[in-house]
């Protein structure tokens, strides 16, 4: 890493430290934690686009699927719905549905002509009605149980850190399914497929209450670090905070955020190390050769579709890992908060601004863009208050003050345009 790149990172660090000195260290550490997760998300998308030129516009779906993992792994099971056999019946119905799909795939491969068409129709139509006959009554049993607090099957009650690799696996599985059908086609079909799977994942999470309570959200998800209230009740911690001249509430919040920052930093450093090793290996050079000229790579005997599937699954797995980390940080799953602007467009801006094809560029873009995303709105309000301070009350003043709410979008667009104009390969270009 050269001096220019170090100065760019130092500039971002100075922005965060300045936030801590002028506003609040709690806010600064909050930016750091989400900046670390954003950097991981940017690394995942950079693998797909920067390494292989794959256009994934469904990042939101893989992040949401990863976010489901802490609910399924770390929350305690709702024993009542398991005792009532509702949960077992749901699992059995899902297995039957999977069996129907497998049977349809087998029929499609083994049969031909009119026999294949008839077999597929019988299998799919009959399988659908069988699945619904098994699935719907089981769901009714689960969702009828104390809907105000549960109405879902719960999780396995395992340590929450196990949900992070599980989130990666869930996203990787979805990516494999999408990739097997779309990666052999033109790149625009991949974009359509990823967008579609993202919307399907969100629709399932919002509407299937038995899975994760839908839009009623899941709160109180276990965390890998202590709760602030537990620290505040500890006499030793209270005494320690007093010795530092801080109140227990502020000190506990800062300590918890620092612990999260340590965990996230360890994950990010491990991913950067692995990504750099992969990028500079023969495998990485092969991926970039495929990206630059697929025809030439195929002529050299490379299986382009297989390699695309490989990198697509890896990148999506990293996005799923980040999704699980976000839910763990928030200690809640809120499917309604997943939207393309926040979890797709913004991640792409991070990669483009930082520098696609460069892992350190993706990390820089993650921190810089997230900082701007958080701070631009209060800056915009302050700017509009300053501009309209001497204006008489009226339509124009009201319009200008209300326009501050759009400052985030304006700033992201402006930053993107400036970078594309003056540094089209990003702030830290690919070497």
Task: Render pLDDT for 183-228 as a digit per residue (tens, 0 to 9).
Answer: 766 667 788 888 888 999 999 998 888 888 888 888 889 999 998 8
Flag whether 120 is in a domain: yes
Domain membership flag for residue 405: yes
> Higher confidence at residue 317 or residue 342?
317
C-alpha of 33 from chain center: 14
φ and ψ at residue 280, rounded to 5 degrees: -90, 5
What's phi and psi for 332, nearest 5 deg?
-160, 150
pLDDT mean over 134-146: 84
Contact between 151 and 210 (Cβ < 8 Å): yes
Query: Pick from 123, 153, 183: which residue ends a domain?
Result: 153
Q: Look at residue 408 and tell me if it is in a domain.
A: yes
Same domain, 256 and 108: no
Q: Which residues pair with 154 in a beta bridge?
A: 77
For 270, the domain range is: 3-77+154-422
Q: What is the number of domains present in the chain?
A: 2
User: What's this model's pTM, rounded to 2 decimal places?
Assistant: 0.91
pLDDT in tens, 245-258: 888 888 899 999 99
Boundary-marking domain end, from 100, 129, 153:
153
Are 39 and 115 contained in the same domain?
no
* H or E segment to which residue 287 belongs: helix 282-292
For residue 52, is pLDDT > 90? Answer: no
315 and 227 housed in the same domain: yes
Residue 301 pLDDT level (bands cut at 50, 70, 90)? confident
Strand, coil or helix: what is 333? strand
pLDDT in tens, 355-370: 998 999 999 999 999 9
Least confident residue range of 2-6, 245-249, 320-324, 400-404: 400-404
* Chosen domain end from 153, 179, 198: 153
Specify whether the backbone of 155 is left (phi greater than 0), alpha (psi in -120 to 50) or beta: beta
Same domain, 414 and 271: yes
3-state secondary structure 78-140: CHHHHHCCHHHHHHHHHHHHHHHHHHHHHHHHHCCHHHHHHHHHHHHHHHHHHHHHHHHHHHH
Q: Judge if 131 and 213 occupy the same domain.
A: no
Q: How far apart are CA 1 and CA 244, in angstroms?
A: 37
> Does 430 map to a domain?
no
Run of H or E including 7: helix 3-22
Distance of CA 339 to the CA centre of its chain: 11
């Amino acid at each position: 890493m050269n001096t220019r790149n170090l100065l760019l990172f130092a500039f971002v660090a100075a922005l965060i430290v300045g936030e801590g000195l002028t506003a609040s260290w709690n806010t600064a550490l909050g930016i750091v934690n989400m900046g670390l997760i954003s950097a991981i998300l940017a690394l995942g998308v950079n693998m797909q686009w920067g390494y292989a030129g794959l256009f994934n516009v469904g990042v939101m779906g893989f992040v949401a699927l990863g976010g489901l993992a802490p609910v399924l792994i770390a929350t305690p099971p709702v024993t009542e719905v398991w005792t009532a056999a509702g949960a077992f019946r749901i699992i059995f119905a899902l297995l039957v549905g999977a069996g129907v799909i497998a049977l349809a795939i087998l029929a499609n491969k083994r049969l031909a002509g009119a026999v294949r068409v008839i077999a597929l129709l019988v299998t799919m139509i009959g399988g659908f009605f069988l699945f619904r006959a098994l699935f719907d009554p089981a769901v009714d049993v689960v969702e009828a149980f104390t809907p105000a607090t549960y109405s879902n099957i719960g999780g396995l009650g395992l340590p929450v850190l196990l949900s992070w690799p599980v989130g990666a696996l869930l996203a990787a599985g979805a990516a494999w399914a999408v990739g097997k059908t779309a990666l052999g086609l033109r790149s625009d079909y991949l974009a359509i497929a990823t967008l579609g799977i993202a919307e399907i994942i969100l629709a399932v999470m919002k509407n299937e209450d038995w899975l994760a309570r839908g839009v009623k959200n899941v709160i109180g998800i276990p965390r890998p670090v202590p709760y602030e209230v537990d620290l505040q009740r500890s006499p030793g911690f209270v005494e320690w905070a007093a010795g530092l001249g801080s109140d227990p509430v502020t000190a506990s919040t800062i300590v918890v955020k620092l612990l999260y920052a340590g965990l996230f930093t360890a994950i990010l450093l491990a991913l950067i190390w692995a990504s750099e090793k992969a990028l500079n290996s023969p495998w990485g050079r092969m991926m970039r050769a495929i990206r630059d000229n697929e025809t030439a790579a195929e002529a050299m005997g490379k299986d382009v579709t297989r390699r695309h599937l490989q990198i697509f699954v890896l990148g999506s797995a990293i996005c799923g890992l980040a999704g699980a980390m976000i839910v763990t940080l928030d200690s809640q799953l809120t499917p309604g908060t997943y939207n393309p602007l926040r979890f797709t467009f913004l991640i792409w801006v991070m990669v483009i601004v930082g520098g696609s094809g460069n892992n350190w560029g993706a990390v820089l873009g993650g921190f810089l863009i997230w900082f701007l995303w958080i701070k631009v709105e209060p800056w915009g309000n302050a700017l509009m208050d300053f501009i309209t301070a001497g204006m008489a009350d009226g339509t124009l003043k009201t319009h200008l003050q209300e326009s501050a709410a759009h400052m985030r979008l304006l700033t992201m667009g402006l930053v993107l345009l400036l970078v594309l104009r003056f540094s089209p390969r990003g702030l830290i270009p690919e070497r």
